[in-house]
């Protein structure tokens, strides 16, 4: 009798010889033999699957080892960074909530990260080896792809804002050392291996990442990538904490990174805003502090909206460019019309979209933080100032659209309106790219 697997493929053959009592086989014997063949099929199939799984796990282990080797910064680079003097907090101006990262080169951002760890006392408190910290930072930087916006620069800016919130914003007093460490690590790693496309794009294209994670696709990937780096020899900055503290820290880091998913922000912000607005917060309560950490991550992730106008314009262009690149992919690969903020043809509506972004996401979170700590009010003020700037840009564009350049005829030739007349259309002309 053939032995088959679940797909109906023959994987073996069973045979019955003579019965011991030398009687003929009957229907009951046939049914029993059939059941036995099915049982054998299950056993053989499971054994084959187990062997295949073992081989697959071995291949995965080898692949992960190869990927880890190439993902990790060379020890020579870490030793070089270790020898470079690290400027003081004052020299780097790290506690300034209006900090401009464009003034630093890549080495400067790495030295600034080291200074933040040192100034917060995290190196001493968690017994982090200095060279391991240098190598881990280099590895984190290496694992950001060179996409237009969600790159190492963005991660550094988010981290610096978190550092400034903890120090200048006086929010550290509400949090434990482990929570502070998880926030800094979470900020540095919150967009690891970002591909320049959002969660919806991963889902629309049915990418491997979307198949791996059912919700918060990219955020789960960023977290898993973060854990891989933290657990790799030579980059294990948490190697000196005990097992219980390690597991707790990993859970905190997971919360901080997943909190950067704006879908989760919209889902949970009402609860935390109610607590803050009603004055019912209790910062000795872990759940209340957890909610606070969530909105702190959101506030830092979008903090470019609080920067001085010249910085905000630069960053807005970078964000818009990356969105438009995704929109182009949706048109060419998916053959769908992208939403306005990712549609290059809607670029002229950037000021209007920025005003909506500020009203819907940014202002509420900065208003809440200002109530938690008045020392963080500067972020709210910066956000409001940029809202006025974007609103002014939007209104200027509207005026420019209504007042198109007039033409005059002279001896059969068409002459454009003079420059002085163009200037009266406002600061931002109709072809302005806000760069």
Which residue, among 179, 176, 163, 192, has the nearest Cα to 249 in the 3D structure?
A: 179
Are 194 and 144 in contact, with CB atoms under 8 Å apart? yes
The DSSP call for residue 101 is G
Provide the β-strand partners of residue 71.
none
The burial of 15, by beta-carbon neighbours within 10 Å (0-12 exposed, 13-18 middle, 19 or more buried), is given as exposed
Q: What is the pLDDT of residue 64?
A: 64
394: nearest Cα among 365, 359, 343, 420: 359
Assigned token pair, 225: 């990538």
Predicted TM-score (pTM) of this structure:
0.80
Instruction: Supply φ then ψ for residue 274, to 5 degrees.
Output: -60, -45
Strand runs labelled E in 6-137: 10-13
Q: State how far the alpha carbon of 139 is from the alpha carbons of 67, 199, 262, 283, in Å.
A: 12, 24, 27, 34
Find how far residue 191's CA is from the centre of its chain.
3
Pairing of strands 2-4, 408-410: unpaired
Structure tokens at 303: 């903090």
Helix locations, 143-242, DSSP H = 152-167, 177-189, 199-204, 208-212, 217-230
**Cα 53 from Cα 48, distance rounded (Å):** 9
Contact predicate 283/289, CB 8 Å? yes
Q: How far apart are CA 63 and CA 70, in angstroms?
A: 11
Return d(Cα 18, Cα 36) in angstroms, integer. 17
Q: What is the DSSP string of 251-316?
A: HHHHHHHHTT-HHHHHHHHHHHHHHHHTT---TTSHHHHHHHHHHHHHHHHTGGGGS-HHHHHHHH
Q: What is the mean pLDDT of the chain?
A: 89
CA distance 138 to 82: 11
Of the listed 31, 70, 150, 288, which one is catalytic? Answer: 150
Please, are residues 237 and 133 in contact by the beta-carbon 8 Å criterion? Answer: yes
- Residue 86 CA to chain centroid, in angstroms? 27
Q: Name the residue among 261, 94, 137, 134 with its Cα closest to residue 191.
A: 261
Question: Which residues have a Cβ under 8 Å from the Cβ of 121 and sit 6 or more positions away?
Answer: 177
| 8 Å CB contact between 400 and 428 | yes
| Axis-axis angle for helices 177-189, 130-142 (nearest 10) | 40
Comparing C-alpha atoms, which of 362, 178, 186 is closest to residue 269? 362
**Are residues 178 and 255 in contact, defined by beta-carbon separation less than 8 angstroms?**
no
Contacts of 134 (CB under 8 A, 6+ apart): 78, 79, 81, 82, 110, 114
pLDDT lower than 70: segments of the chain: 59-70, 398-435
pLDDT in tens, 312-333: 999 999 999 999 999 999 999 9
Has 255 been annotated as catalytic? no
**323-368: per-residue pLDDT in tens?**
999 999 999 999 999 999 999 999 999 999 999 999 999 999 999 9
Instruction: Specify whether the backbone of 420 is left (phi greater than 0), alpha (psi in -120 to 50) or beta.
Output: alpha
Q: Is 249 helix (H, G, I), strand (E, B) or coil?
A: helix
**How many residues in the chain?**
435
């Amino acid at each position: 009798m053939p032995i088959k697997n679940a797909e109906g493929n023959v994987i073996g053959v069973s045979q019955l010889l003579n019965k011991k009592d030398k009687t003929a086989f009957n229907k009951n014997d046939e049914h029993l033999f059939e059941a036995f063949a099915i049982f054998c099929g299950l056993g053989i199939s499971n054994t084959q699957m187990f062997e295949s799984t073992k081989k697959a796990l071995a291949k995965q282990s080898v692949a992960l080892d190869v990927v880890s080797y190439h993902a990790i910064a060379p020890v020579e680079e870490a030793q070089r960074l270790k020898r470079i003097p690290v400027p003081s907090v004052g020299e780097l101006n790290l506690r300034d909530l209006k900090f401009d990262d464009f003034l630093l080169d890549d080495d400067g951002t790495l030295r600034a990260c080291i200074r933040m760890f040192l100034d917060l006392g995290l190196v001493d408190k968690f017994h982090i080896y200095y060279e391991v910290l240098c190598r881990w930072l280099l590895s984190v930087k290496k694992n950001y792809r060179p996409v237009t916006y969600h790159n190492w620069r963005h991660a550094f800016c988010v981290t610096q804002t978190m550092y400034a919130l903890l120090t200048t914003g006086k929010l550290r007093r509400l949090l434990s050392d482990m929570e502070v460490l998880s926030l800094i690590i979470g900020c540095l790693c919150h967009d690891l291996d970002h591909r320049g496309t959002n969660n919806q794009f991963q889902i629309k294209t049915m990418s491997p990442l979307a198949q791996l994670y059912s919700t918060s696709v990219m955020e789960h990937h960023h977290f898993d990538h973060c854990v891989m780096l933290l657990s790799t020899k030579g980059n294990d900055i948490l190697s000196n904490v005990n097992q219980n503290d390690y597991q707790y820290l990993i859970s905190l880091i997971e919360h901080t990174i997943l909190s950067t998913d704006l879908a989760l922000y919209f889902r949970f912000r009402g609860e935390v805003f109610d607590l803050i607005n009603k004055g019912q917060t209790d910062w000795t309560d872990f759940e209340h502090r957890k909610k606070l950490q969530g909105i702190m991550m959101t506030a830092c992730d979008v903090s470019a909206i609080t920067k001085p106008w010249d910085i905000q314009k630069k960053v807005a262009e970078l964000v818009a460019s990356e969105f438009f690149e995704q929109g182009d992919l949706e048109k060419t690969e998916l053959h769908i019309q992208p939403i306005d903020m990712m549609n290059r043809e809607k670029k002229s509506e950037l000021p209007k979209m920025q005003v909506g972004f500020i009203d819907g996401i940014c202002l509420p979170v900065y208003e809440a933080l200002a109530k938690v700590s008045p020392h963080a009010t500067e972020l709210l003020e910066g956000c409001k100032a940029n809202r006025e700037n974007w609103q002014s840009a939007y209104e200027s564009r509207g005026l420019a659209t209504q007042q198109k350049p007039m033409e005059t005829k002279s001896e059969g030739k068409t002459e454009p309106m003079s420059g002085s007349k163009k200037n009266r259309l406002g600061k931002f002309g109709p072809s302005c790219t806000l760069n």
